[in-house]
Amino acid sequence: MGRPREFDVDDALQTAMELFWRKGYEGTSLTDLTEGMGITRPSLYGFFGNKEELFLKALDRYEQKQMVFFREALEEPKARTVAERVLKGYADMQTAECSPNGCLGINGALACSEAAAEIQKCLIEGRRRVEHALAERFERAVQEGDFPDGCSPTDLARYIMTVTQGTAVQAASGADRAALYKVIDMALQCWPK
């Protein structure tokens, strides 16, 4: 009979997610993880796998818990409201007092070496999936007659996501929510007529 687990797996995974979010994938050492999570390396490997597997579990948690606003925004009836809720939802998440500043998907992949190429690729694919979901929602707006004439849903989705990535970098550098909202208000002034 094995020894009983002496840590809460959910709490440990939350801590790992926050460490990766704050320091990036490569910037987070195994020592950071074991000390922060309050577990030994054998427990880390036994319950979460290696660092890459732990990161992917933390990323899944991030997408399930932190990105709820995005899924809700896609349900808005008007395309411009979708865009505004996406932009402000990201800004809110990127500046929340209870979590690290910025975005795990951006912070985790900005500086990756060849050794972390698979993690970087995974993060890039995640951003592409989000952008694609937004483009699909804008395609629906075209069918509903709620989209600016002559505007590409794909290009507008890319624009919105580029703004969110910029606000993530700004938030990670210390910009507060009010400053990000000013950027968002300016970006929305460019909404095609």
Instruction: State the Cα–Cα distance between residues 89 and 69, nearest whole angstrom.
Output: 6
Tokens of 31: 């020592």
Tens-binned pLDDT, residue by residue, of the chain (193 aa):
455 457 788 999 999 999 999 998 988 999 999 999 999 999 999 999 999 999 999 999 999 999 999 999 999 999 999 999 999 999 999 999 999 999 988 877 666 667 778 888 888 899 999 999 999 999 999 999 999 888 999 999 999 999 999 999 999 999 999 999 999 999 999 998 7
Give, for 122, the enclosing helix (H) or strand (E).
Answer: helix 117-143
CB within 8 Å of 179: residues ≥ 6 apart: 170
pLDDT at 149: 87
Query: How far is 73 from 36, CA to CA, in rounded Å?
Result: 33
Q: What domains can be seen in the chain, in order of their start residue?
A: 9-61 (1.10.10.60), 67-189 (1.10.357.10)
Distance separating alpha carbons of residues 56 and 85, to the nearest angstrom: 27
Specify the pLDDT at position 1.
46
Three-class SS of residue 113? coil
- The pLDDT value given to residue 110: 63
Q: How far apart are CA 185 and CA 98, in angstroms?
A: 25
pLDDT of residue 49: 94
In angstroms, the Cα distances linking 128 to 3, 125, 180 are 43, 5, 22
